[in-house]
Structures are given as structure tokens and as C-alpha cells.
């Protein structure tokens, strides 16, 4: 399955199920009620999170999150599916949440695999709200700076 530039993160050396588990575990730890669904056609995993307890670090736009994970050659990839839009005034908090998620996934994969697996960012990671839209000068550029 070729997904093009829709990937947010990729993992090398671990499977889709374990990568989805790390994502679901993190979302649960910050207050989300997580639903995880495995599909066979096409092969993949959907992880949905609904914020159950309020957190000042989570912007209102991130009260419901949705991701799709699919297998890749030697690993797995995550596609960020929702939210699709983030208001300009919430973007700094959303960027921080994204960086925290990336950092947690990197640490979890690296630690659990004894450094045999790793999380990598695609050359052009895709977050839905980072695409340029007419009249929205703050929508261009990457959502988060590399760690």
C-alpha cells in the first residue's frame, strides 16, 4: 500500500500493532478514552481518542483525535486523520502536543526495542492543518520544529 506524503511518522523495526499500542497508551495517559480497531481490507489500525478529562495542555481542537496506521516495508506508518483544522490561536498548543506525542513515541520505541527500532519522520511529514490555505498566512510551514 503506497500512501504518498500522508505520513506523519514512521517506525522502523517494529510492527503496526506495537506502534499503535504505544500511541494508544500515550493518549490514555494524557486523558483520552481510546478506541482501537484493526482492519483486514486494507490491512491497518485505526486509533481514535476522545478527551475524557480536561487538560490545560490539550487545545480544544484536539478534543477528538484520529489516526490510521498501516504496515510498511520493515515497519509501520501513522497518518494523522483528525482534527483536520486547528484555529490559529490554538496552533502553538497543538504544536506542543504534537511534539510531546512524537517525543513519547520515539522514547517508547527506542527503550522497549533496546535501540533496535526507531521512529523516523518522513522527509515531508504531513499534518492536515499545515497545508497552505488562501487568506491564512499562519497555515504554511511545518507544524513543529525538529526535536
Q: In which element (H, E) is residue 113 found? A: none
Report the share of the chain in percent with pLDDT over 70: 84
CB 93 within 8 A of CB 105: no
pLDDT in tens, 110-122: 887 667 788 888 8
Rounded-to-integer distance, Cα 75 and Cα 17, Å: 10
The pLDDT value recorded for residue 113 is 66
pLDDT in tens, 10-61: 898 888 899 999 999 999 999 999 999 998 888 899 999 999 888 788 899 9
Domain boundaries, the chain: 9-139
Residue 7: pLDDT above 70? yes
pLDDT in tens, 47-86: 999 998 887 888 999 999 999 999 988 889 999 999 999 9
- N- to C-terminal Cα distance for the chain? 29
Longest dimension (CA), the chain: 47
pTM of the model as a whole: 0.80
Residue 139: pLDDT above 60? no
Amino acid at each position: 500500500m503506497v500512501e504518498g506524503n500522508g505520513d506523519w511518522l514512521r517506525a522502523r523495526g517494529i510492527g503496526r500493532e506495537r506502534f499503535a499500542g504505544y500511541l494508544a497508551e500515550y493518549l490514555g495517559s494524557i486523558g483520552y478514552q481510546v478506541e482501537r480497531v484493526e482492519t483486514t481490507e486494507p490491512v491497518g489500525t485505526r486509533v481514535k481518542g476522545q478527551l475524557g478529562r480536561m487538560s490545560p495542555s490539550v487545545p480544544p481542537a484536539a478534543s477528538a483525535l484520529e489516526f490510521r496506521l498501516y504496515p510498511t516495508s520493515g515497519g509501520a506508518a501513522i497518518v494523522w486523520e483528525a482534527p483536520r483544522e486547528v484555529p490559529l490561536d490554538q496552533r502553538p498548543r497543538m504544536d506542543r502536543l504534537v511534539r510531546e506525542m512524537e517525543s513519547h513515541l520515539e522514547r517508547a520505541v527506542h527503550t522497549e526495542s533496546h535501540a533496535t527500532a526507531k521512529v523516523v519522520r518522513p522527509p515531508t511529514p504531513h499534518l492536515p492543518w499545515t497545508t497552505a490555505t488562501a487568506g491564512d498566512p499562519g497555515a504554511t510551514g511545518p507544524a513543529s520544529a525538529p526535536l
